[in-house]
Structure 1
Amino acid sequence: MSDDASAAPHGPDGALHDRLAALAHDWAAAMVSDDPARIAGFMAEDWVIVSESGISTRGQFLAYVESGDLTHSAFQLVGEPRIQVYGDSAVLTARITNTAHYRGERFDADEWTTDVFVRRDDRWLCVLSHITGAART
């Protein structure tokens, strides 16, 4: 199906799926770069992240990276993301494993992440990320 067919949810066509999956992998690589400008390139100005500690804005998140308080030494998708397209919006859900350091303290995470992207000027930018811990089996 084409991503422009209707407002109804549906999986993207092959080329769009590949483009969005590559975007998710590229963003993961940007996170490990600890380069705030590179990371910001994937985020809309109004991006927020929702986690167990609440809501953080794009500015707050990038300030942690820029200060060096937040770094990532690993950030990887486990398998391929589930991708649903709704016109000019897309929802990517994936399992992510990462190793982060916050103010020198190491955190290893296994999380489910849902990212909402919108298409603006033929670019896909994330407007919302929601993370939740994966159940340990």
Structure 2
Amino acid sequence: MTEDQLKQQFQQIEDNFNVALISNRVEEIKKCITTDWVLIDSQGGIIPQESFFYVLERGLLSHSTMTKEILRVKVYGDIALVTGRGQNTGTWHEQSVEADEWITDVYKNENEKWLCVLTHLTPVKK
């Protein structure tokens, strides 16, 4: 598979992940991630999925928009590293938030499906 084909494949996977995230529904998000997925960000450090789901289910966090432009994909057997730039909007404790971030998602191919194992976010320096 060429580099462009890989980018297209993972752009679709990331787009599906974005749709799941803006649904704010845990069951939809679980379709895109492994059972041990974690989120890493500059404010919360390593955030286990249980903590992420907790704030979603209680309405403390919600996403209304989310986009990612895939810039780099590297596949190593059943592991893929996908790096891009993403923007999102939503609310955190009823306050409007927006983010512009560098995003690296680590994927694992499980049963012929790519599932996200880890998402690492780094704010874009303004």
What TM-score does the superposition give when structure 2 sets the normalisation length? 0.91
Gaps of 5+ in 2: none
Q: Helix, strand or coil: the match of 2:19?
A: helix
Amino acid at match of 2:15: H
Matched length: 125
User: In the alignment, is residue 131 of structure 1 matched against residue 118 of structure 2?
Assistant: no
Question: Does the Cα contact within 8 Å between 1:34 and 1:65 map onto a contact in 2?
Answer: yes
Structure 1 or 2, whichever has the larger Rg, is 1
Segments of structure 1 that go 5 or more residues without pairing to the other structure are 2-10
Aligned alpha-carbon RMSD (Å)? 1.6
Which one of 90, 94, 99 corresponds to residue 100 of structure 1? Answer: 90
2:101 corresponds to which residue?
A: 111
Moved over 4 A (4+): none
Q: In structure 1, what residue type is equivalent to 2:77?
A: G
Take 1:24 and 1:35, find their aligned partners in 2: how far apart are those partners? 16
| 1:28-71 C-alpha deviation (Å, 9 max, x unpaired) | 11111111110111111111111112111111111211111110
* Structure-1-length-normalised TM-score: 0.84
* Counterpart position of 1:36: 26
User: What SS does structure 1 have at the residue aligned with 2:73?
Assistant: strand
Tell me, yes or no, if the aligned pair for 1:12 and 1:85 is still in contact at 8 Å: no
Matched residue, 2:62: 71
